[in-house]
Structure 1
Amino acid sequence: MNRQRGKRAIVARLSVFALGWAAAFGAAAQSWPTKPVKVVVNFPPGGAADQIARAVTGPLQEVLGQPVVVENKGGAGGNIGGEAVARSAPDGYTLLMSSGGMVSINPFIYPKMSFDPAKDLDPVAAAAKVKVFLVTRPGKLPTDVQSFIAYLKANPGKVTYGTPGNGSSPHLAAEMFQSQAGVSVVHVPYRGAAPALVDLLAGQIDFAFDPGIAMQHVQAGKLNMLAVGSLTRSPLFPDVPTLDEVGLKGFDADTVFGFYAPSGTPKEIINRLNGEINKIIGTPAFRERVVAIGGDPAPMTPEQFRKRAEDDARRFGAIIRERKIVGD
Structure 2
Amino acid sequence: MTRPIDRRHALGLIAAAAPALAGTARAQVDYPNRPVTVIVPQAAGGANDIIGRILAEKLSEVMGQRFVVENRAGAGGNLGSQAAARSTPDGYTLLVTISASQAINPALYARTGFDPVKDFAPVSLLGTVPNVLLVHPGFEARSVADLIRMAKEKPGFYHYASAGNGTLNHLVGEMLKSRAGIDLKHIPYRGIAPALTDVIAGHVPITFANLPAAISQIQAGTVRALGVSTLKRNSFVPQVPTIAETVPGFDAELWIALYAVAGTPQPIVDRLVAATHRALADEQVKAKFAQQGAEVVTSTPAELAARLDADLKVWAEIVKTSGAKIE
TM-score range, shorter chain: 0.7 to 0.9
Bigger drift between 138-147 and 214-223 goes to: 138-147
Contact 1:211 1:293 in 2 (8 A): no
1:241 aligned partner: 241
For 1:140-185, what per-residue CA distance to the aligned partner results, in whole angstroms no more than 9, with x for missing partners?
A: 775543454566675847734223762x443321110222341232
SS state at 1:126 partner: strand
Paired residues for 1:220-231 under 5 Å: 220-231=220-231
Q: CA deviation at 1:265?
A: 1.2
The answer for the alignment partner of 2:281 in structure 1 is 282
Q: TM-score, normalised by structure 2?
A: 0.83
Asked whether the equivalents of residues 36 and 66 of structure 1 are also in contact (C-alpha less than 8 Å), the reply is yes
Match for residue 198 of structure 2?
203
> What's the TM-score once normalised by structure 1's chain length?
0.83
> Could you say what secondary structure the match of 1:127 adopts?
strand
Deviations 1:17-74 (A, max 9, x none): 8766544333222222222211111122232212221221111111222222212222
Structure 1 residue 69 corresponds to structure 2 residue 68: yes
- Give the deviation of 1:12 after TM superposition: 10
Rounded to whole Å, the distance in 1 between the matches of 2:104 and 2:42 is: 15
Distance 2:15 2:306 in 1: 36
Q: Say whether the 8 Å CA contact 1:29–1:266 is kept in structure 2.
A: yes
Percent identity between the aligned chains?
32
- Distance verdict in 2 for CA 1:25–1:185, change over 3 Å: farther
- C-alpha spacing 1:85/1:17, structure 2 compared with 1 (3 Å): farther
Shift of 1:260: 0.7
Q: Distance in 1 between matches of 2:12 and 2:169?
A: 54
Q: Which residue identity lines up with residue 115 of structure 1 in the other structure? A: F
- Residue 232 of structure 1 aligns with which residue? 232
Aligned-pair distance for 1:7? 10
CA distance in 1, matches of 2:241, 2:313: 26
Shift of 1:272: 1.1
CA distance 1:54–1:217, change in 2 (3 Å): farther
Q: Is the 8 A contact 1:127 1:259 kept in 2?
A: yes
2:307 match:
308
Kept in 1, the 8 Å contact 2:62–2:279? The answer is: no
Root mean square deviation of aligned Cα: 3.3
Partner amino acid, structure 2, of 1:271: D
Shift of 1:118: 0.4
Preserved contact between residue 152 and residue 159 of structure 1 (Cα < 8 Å): no
Report what 2:186 is aligned to: 186
Q: Per-residue CA shift, 1:48-106, capped at 9, x if unaligned?
A: 21222122111111122222221222222321111110011112111111112333322
CA distance, structure 2, for counterparts of residue 262 and residue 289 of structure 1: 27
| Residues 326 and 141 of structure 1, relative CA distance in 2, 3 Å threshold | farther
CA contact (8 A) 1:157 1:186 kept: no
- Give 1:65-144 correspondences, 5 Å limit: 65-138=64-137, 142=141, 144=143
Query: In the alignment, residue 218 of structure 1 is paired with which amino acid?
Result: I
For structure 2, the 5+ residue unaligned runs are none
Whether the 8 Å contact between 1:94 and 1:261 is mirrored in structure 2 is: yes
Output the CA distance in 1 between the equivalents of 2:96 and 2:232: 25
Of 151-160 and 277-286, the range deviating more from structure 2? 151-160
Contact 2:89 2:263 in 1 (8 A): yes
Gaps of 5+ in 1: none
| Counterpart position of 2:159 | 159
Q: Distance in 2 between matches of 1:176 and 1:14?
A: 60
Match of 1:185, as an amino acid? K
How far is the alpha carbon of 1:326 from its aligned partner? 2.2
Cα contact 1:137–1:203 (8 A) shared by 2: no
Q: CA deviation at 1:114?
A: 2.0
CA contact 1:135–1:209 (8 Å) conserved in 2? yes
Distance 2:17 2:300 in 1: 29
